[in-house]
Amino acid sequence: MKLLVCISKTPDTTAKIAFNGDNTKLETAGITFIMNPYDEWYALVKAIEIQEKWGGSVSVLHVGPSENDSIIRKALAIGATDAYRIDTEAVSADQVAFQMASFIQQHAFDIIFTGKETIDYNGAEVGGRMAAQLNFPFISFASHLEMVAENQAIVKRDMEGGTETIQVNTPFVVSAAKGMAEQRIPNMKGIMTAKSKPLNVVTPQEYSPKINIVSHELPPAKKAVQYIDPENMAELARLLREEAKVI
């Protein structure tokens, strides 16, 4: 089987977020980037598990410049067979989906994995946009995937009040959520092997932007929490009346 995992980079969860002067781009100076956890922990590991059972290969695909190669190498260290980097900045979900779908159209993959969303923008857009361009079935927020034949899978996803079970033939696109797999930590052998695995640089396709970022805004700062002695209800009533003005 030929499996493809689409990976992205996100700021480390401890990073302090700021924007450039006109608020159109993330200020990247001093920020540590990581592989998006949903891509790494669930999508990538599940693809590797399928490859270990059914044979074949696991490729990873990333849209971004060469400074992101260390993130791609981590995917190779975890167990991917090879990697492709489309050599252009990722500027929007639509642009990333277009570049990835254009690449996939030139190759034959059985399953295309993404994480359910990135932890920075939480857009959950790329998988669906990519599947639409490819005219492939798309299952989002999947928590379970089991191959029942080389060309057929059973996919489950949690829904409000229950679980949806879907039978789907390859090729298809699936976005992986918590429960799909268990995180794997690259070992020393994997890290050393990753250095010699192929990382192919792909020329991007010409793209006409459909979306332009006007500006970003940080959410308003949260107000400080004030603790009141549970025995002092008079003070609580005063604060609600005079400061919060809700009574």
Tens of pLDDT along 110-139?
A: 999 999 998 887 889 999 999 999 999 999
Return the closest-CA partner of residue 130 out of 138, 141, 142, 122.
138
pLDDT attached to residue 31:
85
Q: Which residues contact 231 (CB under 8 A, 6 or more apart)?
A: none
Domain boundaries, the chain: 2-218
Q: Judge whether residue 231 has pLDDT over 90.
A: no
Q: Judge whether residue 220 has pLDDT over 80.
A: yes
pLDDT attached to residue 22:
83
Backbone angles phi, psi at 6, to 5 degrees: -90, 120
Residues 163, 158: Cα–Cα separation, whole Å:
5
Mean pLDDT of the region 6-28: 83
Q: Judge whether residue 227 has pLDDT over 80.
A: yes
Residues 175, 15: Cα–Cα separation, whole Å:
25
Higher pLDDT, 191 or 29: 191
Return the closest-CA partner of residue 98 out of 220, 211, 225, 235.
211
**CATH node for 2-218:** 3.40.50.620
pLDDT attached to residue 119:
84
- Following DSSP, what letter does each residue of 165-206 receive, concatenated? EEEEESSEEEEE-TTS-------HHHHHHHTTS-EEEEPPPP
Tens of pLDDT along 24-70?
A: 777 777 888 899 999 999 999 999 999 999 999 999 999 999 999 99
For the chain, the average pLDDT equals: 92
Q: Judge whether residue 225 has pLDDT over 90.
A: no
Q: Report which residue type is found at 3.
A: L
